[in-house]
């Protein structure tokens, strides 16, 4: 029997994505380094409706079971395991076959692998998969970027296996190799930002608003019916209702240590934002918050040394405060997504990937962790104006922001005077206040650069490039352009 597609790597993601493909009618061959997982997957396929899935313990048999041109999805740990797997499998492949790496991979690694395989005529694709275990099984958001012809080979499978939303499957041909990994990386950075901003709203509502877990659950659940409707808001509402599972009184959330782990894709996003000169302060604040959270012992020691505000915490009207926090969260989210979209565009321009931002927003509407109602509005904004310089100046979003800035400011102000850190929400407001100003104090920064380094400056009142001797001991030397 010839199989339609192969899946190598049967941990959480691979096993579930293999079953997803089989459920959509594709005959799937599966293989894994440790043979036990092959048996587990075959058992699951039987148990979940006798799905068309065949297990192979020998990679050569696995490859030979596939119809040509062969399509193999790899879902092993990113980095060296992917190189090892490609080296192993490619020995059995022929020109025209395709390898798809579905892991969270650093995009230059995908580009390097594509180059390595090109002389053999083997196609390569890096495809970000979002949605975790459940998404992989029931329909993830798929972000493919591949060699010419690669998408066409995978299209019949991935358009069926991706999450389906009102305007189609949550996938599209993002562009060349690396672009799919890049979009997935930014997706993960946005995810960091969303999670941090929600954590900040929780802190503010609890510390300043005095909301109990029951009230927090009600608040987040009701927010899920508003412009904030999203997967992360929905699960947050549920988290506050979960009783402790070890028999301690109250809710589990109160017993979880305040240390956040991470696997590195958020850090890549910030490294890339710096590389592309693209502001990403919300995601950077979220990354910093994770680093600070990890230093639990230091924080506990510092608590006894460093003082917070001495003035009494201002009293708040609970209902009004909840409304303000909702507005602040929405505005901050808009800033974060604007920064993520701009980063994708900057990279796309520099790397020669003409990525469709409206389509990126659309494929995040379902299946993935950042799925949210307002992604439809983001899609529309970029559809109406693909050259939109910033989501903030889209007519819909600018009006949403402008009508909420007073609430946003009240929340940040209250956080500051109360000594409650809200780094992502505050950073978002600072970005908004910088971006909306035609004049910034950067004139002074540039003057300093010219003072100590002769870096020159432009003037507001005349053309040219200028340098000045800033102390009386030196003579002004005038317009550099005129001198040269």
Residue closest to 72 by CA, chosen among 48, 97, 96: 97
Indicate whether 85 belongs to the interface with ligand NBP (CB under 6 A): yes
Catalytic site residue from 37, 105, 147, 184: 184
- Of 11 and 373, the one with the shorter C-beta distance to ligand NBP is 11
- Of 58, 84, 152, 317, the one binding ligand NBP by CB under 6 A: 84
Q: Which among 23, 105, 147, 191 is annotated as catalytic?
A: 191
Q: Are 123 and 153 in contact (CB under 8 A)?
A: yes
Q: How far is the CB of 84 from ligand NBP (least distance, A)?
A: 4
339 neighbors 283 (Cβ within 8 angstroms): yes
Among 12, 87, 95, 256, binds ligand NBP (CB under 6 A): 12
Spatial distance between the Cα atoms of 362 and 341, rounded to a whole number of angstroms: 12
Q: Which is nearer to ligand NBP, 12 or 274 (CB)?
A: 12
Query: Quick check: 103 binds ligand NBP (CB under 6 A)?
Result: yes
Which is closer to ligand NBP, CB of 18 or CB of 285?
18
- What does the buried/exposed string (b/e) look like for 104-121 if buried means 16 or more CB atoms within 10 Å of the residue's CB? bbbbebbbebbeebeeee
Residues belonging to the binding site for NADP(+) are 9-14, 32-34, 76-78, 104
Per CB under 6 A, the list member of 10, 125, 154, 391 interacting with ligand NBP is: 10
SS (H, E, C) 243-308: ECCCCCCCEHHHHCCCCCCCCCHHHHHHHHHHHCCCCCHHHHHHHHHHHHHHCHHHHHHHHCCCCC
User: Annotated binding residues for substrate, as ranges?
Assistant: 104, 130-132, 187-188, 192, 263, 290, 449, 455
Task: State the minimum distance, in angstroms, from the CB of residue 62 to ligand NBP.
Answer: 12
User: Facing residues of 53 across strands?
Assistant: 28
Question: What 8-state DSSP symbol labels residue 315?
Answer: P
User: What minimum distance in Å lies between the beta carbon of 55 and ligand NBP?
Assistant: 13
Helix axes 36-47, 12-23, angle to 10 degrees: 40
Q: Which of 33, 138, 206, 449 is close enough to bind ligand NBP by CB under 6 A?
A: 33
Examine the residue annotation and report whether 184 is marked as an active-site residue of this protein.
Answer: yes
Q: How many residues bind ligand NBP (CB under 6 A)?
A: 22
Distance of CA 101 to the CA centre of its chain: 18
Cis preceding-peptide flag for 43 (omega within 30 of 0): no
> Which 123-142 positions form the footprint of ligand NBP (CB under 6 A)?
129, 132-133
Check residue 60 for interaction with ligand NBP (CB under 6 A): no
Of these, 75, 117, 228, 358, which contacts ligand NBP (CB under 6 A)? Answer: 75
- Quick one: 77 or 403, whose CB is closer to ligand NBP? 77
Q: Does 76 bind ligand NBP (CB under 6 A)?
A: yes
Query: For residue 170, how many other CB atoms are within 10 A of its CB?
Result: 27
State the Cα–Cα distance between residues 5 and 297, nearest whole angstrom: 49
C-beta closer to ligand NBP: residue 185 or 344:
185
Instruction: Classify 146 as helix, strand or coil.
Output: strand
Using rule CB under 6 A, residue 269 touches ligand NBP: no
- Please identify, using beta-carbon distances, which residue of 103 and 145 lies nearer to ligand NBP: 103
Pairing of strands 164-165, 168-169: antiparallel
Please give the positions annotated as active site.
184, 191
Chain residues binding ligand NBP by CB under 6 A are 9-14, 32-34, 37, 75-78, 81, 84-85, 103-104, 129, 132-133
């Amino acid at each position: 029997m010839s199989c339609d597609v192969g899946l190598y790597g049967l941990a959480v993601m691979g096993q579930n994505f293999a079953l997803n493909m089989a459920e959509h009618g594709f005959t799937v061959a599966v293989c894994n380094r440790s043979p036990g997982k092959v048996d587990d997957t075959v058992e699951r396929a039987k148990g979940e409706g006798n799905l068309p899935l065949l297990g192979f313990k020998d990679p050569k048999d696995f490859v030979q079971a596939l119809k040509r041109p062969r399509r193999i999805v790899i879902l092993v740990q990113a980095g060296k395991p992917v190189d090892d797997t490609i080296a192993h499998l490619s020995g059995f492949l022929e020109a025209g076959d395709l390898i798809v790496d579905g892991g969270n991979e650093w995009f230059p690694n995908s580009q390097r692998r594509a180059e390595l395989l090109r002389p053999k005529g083997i196609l390569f694709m890096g495809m970000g998969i979002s949605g975790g275990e459940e998404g992989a099984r029931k329909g993830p958001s798929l972000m493919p970027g591949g060699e010419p012809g690669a998408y066409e080979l995978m299209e019949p499978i991935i358009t069926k296996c991706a999450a389906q939303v009102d305007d189609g499957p949550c996938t599209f041909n993002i562009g060349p190799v690396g672009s799919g990994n890049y979009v997935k990386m930014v997706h993960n950075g946005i995810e960091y930002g969303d999670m941090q901003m929600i954590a900040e709203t929780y802190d503010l509502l609890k510390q300043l608003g005095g909301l109990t877990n029951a009230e927090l659950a009600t608040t987040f659940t009701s927010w899920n019916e508003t412009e904030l409707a999203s997967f992360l808001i929905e699960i947050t509402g549920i988290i506050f209702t979960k009783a402790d599972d070890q028999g301690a009184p109250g809710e589990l959330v109160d017993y979880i240590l305040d240390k956040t782990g991470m696997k590195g894709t958020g850090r890549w996003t910030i490294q890339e934002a710096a590389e592309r000169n693209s502001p990403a302060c919300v995601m950077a604040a979220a990354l910093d918050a994770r680093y600070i959270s990890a230093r639990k012992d230091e924080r506990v020691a510092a608590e006894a040394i460093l003082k917070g505000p001495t003035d009494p915490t201002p009293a708040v009207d609970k209902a009004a405060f909840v409304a303000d926090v909702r507005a602040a969260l929405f505005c901050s989210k808009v800033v974060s997504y604007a920064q993520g979209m701009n980063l994708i565009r900057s990279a796309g321009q520099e790397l020669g990937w003409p990525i469709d931002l409206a389509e990126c927003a659309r494929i995040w509407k379902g299946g993935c962790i950042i799925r949210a109602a307002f992604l439809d509005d983001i899609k529309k904004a970029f559809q109406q104006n693909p050259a939109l310089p910033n989501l903030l100046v889209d007519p819909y979003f600018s009006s949403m922001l402008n009508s909420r800035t007073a609430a946003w400011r009240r929340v940040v102000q209250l956080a500051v005077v109360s000594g409650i850190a809200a780094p992502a929400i505050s950073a978002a407001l600072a970005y908004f206040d910088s971006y909306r100003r035609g004049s910034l104090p950067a004139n002074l920064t540039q003057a300093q650069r010219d003072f100590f380094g002769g870096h020159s400056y432009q003037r507001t009142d005349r053309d040219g490039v200028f340098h000045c001797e800033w102390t009386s001991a030196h003579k002004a030397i005038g317009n550099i352009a005129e001198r040269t």
